[in-house]
A = this chain, B = another copy of it.
Amino acid sequence: MTDAATSIRVPRNSVADAALLADFLTMSEFGATPAGGVERQAATAEDGHTRAWFAQWLTARGFSVSYDRIGNMFGLYEFVPGAPYVLAGSHMDSQPRGGKYDGAYGVLAAAHAAQRLVQYYSTGAATPTFNIGVVNWFNEEGSRFKPSMMGSSVFAGKIELETALCATDPAGVTAQQALIDIGTISSNDVFGAGTGRSVACYAEIHIEQGRELDKGGITLGLVDKTWAANKYEISVIGAQAHTGATAMVDRQDALYGAALAVVAVRELAERYGEDLHTSCGQLTVYPNSPVVVAREVHMHLDLRSPSDTLLDEADAVLRQEFAMIELKADVHIERRYAHTWKGHTYQPEGVELSRQVAADLEVSQMLVQTRAGHDSTNMKDIVPSVMLFIPSVDGVSHAENEFTNNEDLVTGVDVLTETLARMLEGALNP
C-alpha cells in the first residue's frame, strides 16, 4: 500500500485552484462567441492573441518560450541542464464556434501543473531526473488546415514538415504564411536533432467529448486505447444542367450522388451499433446556384472504430455502396484517404501510473477509449505517454455549449501535477 499522505507532492490548495479558474476565464475571452463558446481556428488572429497571452503567462513564471518550424509552442523549464524533458500540453486552437474547454483546458492545466512543480522542486524537497516543458500544439483541430493534429504529427515524424506548411485554408492561405502572420513560427526546431534537447515522456489531459464519465459519475478517465480512424476526401462528379428544364433521366446530379453517399455513410454506422462512428461534416457544392444541377460536390468523410478489422470491413462496404451510387445517380465518385490511423494502445505503464495517482488522490477513475484523435495519439508512438480525461457534461463537444464543472477542472490539474511529478522522477523512464 502506498501512503497517500506522503506520496502527494503538491496538496490541493484553494489559492492555486482560484488562479487556475481565473486564468481559464481570461483565456476563454480570446475569440469568445456570444453563445459561450470560442472561435479561434489555427493561426487566425484569435489564435495569435491567445498564444501571445500565454507566452506572457509562461515568461512571467520563469519558463522560456519558443516555437518550432510548424508553429508548436513550448514553455520550457530546466531543472537538470541537458536532461531530457517531460512534456505536457494539448492545443489552444478551436473549431469554428467551438467549445472553450477542448484542448485549451489541457494546455492551461499543463502550465499550472508545471508551475506548481517548479515551485515544489525549488524547495529542494526532491530532485527531478528530467526537465519540464509545456506544449501548445499547432492546429490540432484541422478545421482551417488539413490534416488535424498537424503540429504533433510533424513533431512525431508522421507527416512531412513541407506538406504541413503548404496546406492551404479555403481562402488559399498556407499554414506557413498564417503562422508568419501571427508571428509564432521559427526557422529552427526546439527538440530533436541539433537542438540538444530530447523528450523523455508526455502527458495530456483533455475533456472526454463523450458521456461515459458524465453518465457514470466518474471524475477521471484513464485512456488505454485510441480508436482507429479513416478520413476520406470525396469528389462526386456530375454535369451542370438546368434544374427546371433538364429531363430527370438526363441528369447527372452531383448533389444527389453526394446525398446518397451521406445517407449510406450514416446507415453504415447503424449496421455496427456504437462500434462504428461515421460522419460527413464538410460538403461543398459547385456551382451552388438554386437553379443549377450541381456539377461537383466535395466532401470529407470520417469513419472511426475501436476495431481495425471492423474499420477495414466498413471501408470495403463503403466502396461497394459508392459503386452502386455511381450507377444510380449517373455520377463518378473519387475517393482519397486524407488521413488514417490504426487503433492503438497507450503504454500500460502510463495507464498504471495514472491509476495509482488517482487512487492516492482518492479520485474516482475508469478506463476509457478515445474515439477522437488527440496529440497524445501521435506522442505515444515516440515516447511513453499518459492521456487523461475529465468529464464533458452530456458529452457535448465541438459546440459552444461544451461544459465541464469547475470541480473537475481543478481535480484534473491535481491529478496531472502528481502524474508529472512521478514522471519527472523517472516513473516511466526507469
Binding site for B on A (CB under 8 A): 95-98, 141-143, 146, 148, 208-211, 227, 229, 231, 239-251, 253, 255-256, 258-263, 266, 269-270, 274, 277-285, 287-295, 300, 302, 304, 338, 370-373, 395-400
The residue that A398 contacts in the complex, of B98, B229, B263, B292, with Cβ under 8 A, is B292
Residue on B nearest A147 in the bound complex, by CB: B290
Do A289 and B95 touch (CB < 8 A)?
yes
Complex Cα gap A209–B245 (Å) = 6
Do B253 and A279 touch (CB < 8 A)?
yes
**Would A97 and B287 be within 8 Å (CB), given that A211-B250, A259-B259, A395-B247 are in contact?**
yes
Do B294 and A281 touch (CB < 8 A)?
yes
Do A399 and B240 touch (CB < 8 A)?
yes
Which chain B residues lie closer than 8 Å to A95 at the CB level? 287, 289, 291-292
Do A290 and B302 touch (CB < 8 A)?
yes
Complex Cα gap A262–B259 (Å) = 6
Query: In the complex, given contacts A245-B397, A283-B285, A284-B285, what are 10 additional A-B residue pairs having Cβ atoms less than 8 angstroms apart?
Result: A141-B291, A240-B400, A241-B396, A243-B279, A245-B370, A248-B269, A253-B279, A255-B280, A259-B259, A291-B398
Do A262 and B256 touch (CB < 8 A)?
yes
Do B290 and A372 touch (CB < 8 A)?
no
Identical chains bound together, number = 2
Complex Cα gap A346–B325 (Å) = 41
**Would A253 and B241 be within 8 Å (CB), given that A95-B287, A274-B247, A281-B293 are in contact?**
no
- Nearest Cβ on chain B to A289's Cβ, whole angstroms: 4
Do A279 and B263 touch (CB < 8 A)?
no
Do A398 and B241 touch (CB < 8 A)?
yes
Complex Cα gap A253–B262 (Å) = 11
Residue on B nearest A266 in the bound complex, by CB: B256
Do A304 and B227 touch (CB < 8 A)?
no
Complex Cα gap A279–B292 (Å) = 9
Complex Cα gap A141–B373 (Å) = 45
- Nearest Cβ on chain B to A255's Cβ, whole angstroms: 6
**Would A143 and B266 be within 8 Å (CB), given that A243-B277, A247-B274 are in contact?**
no
Complex Cα gap A290–B279 (Å) = 9
Which chain B residues lie closer than 8 Å to A97 at the CB level? 240, 287, 295
Q: Which 5 A-B pairs have the closest CB atoms?
A: A259-B262, A243-B279, A209-B245, A290-B300, A96-B287
Residue on B nearest A270 in the bound complex, by CB: B248
Which chain B residues lie closer than 8 Å to A262 at the CB level? 255-256, 258-259
- Nearest Cβ on chain B to A27's Cβ, whole angstroms: 21
Do B281 and A291 touch (CB < 8 A)?
yes
Which chain B residues lie closer than 8 Å to A274 at the CB level? 247-249
The residue that A288 contacts in the complex, of B98, B279, B283, B372, with Cβ under 8 A, is B283
Do B243 and A281 touch (CB < 8 A)?
yes
Complex Cα gap A262–B183 (Å) = 45
Residue on B nearest A278 in the bound complex, by CB: B248
Do A288 and B277 touch (CB < 8 A)?
no
Complex Cα gap A209–B395 (Å) = 51
Which among A229, A282, A285 has the highest number of chain B CB atoms within 10 Å? A282
- Nearest Cβ on chain B to A342's Cβ, whole angstroms: 15
Do B281 and A255 touch (CB < 8 A)?
yes
Residue on B nearest A248 in the bound complex, by CB: B269
Complex Cα gap A209–B292 (Å) = 12
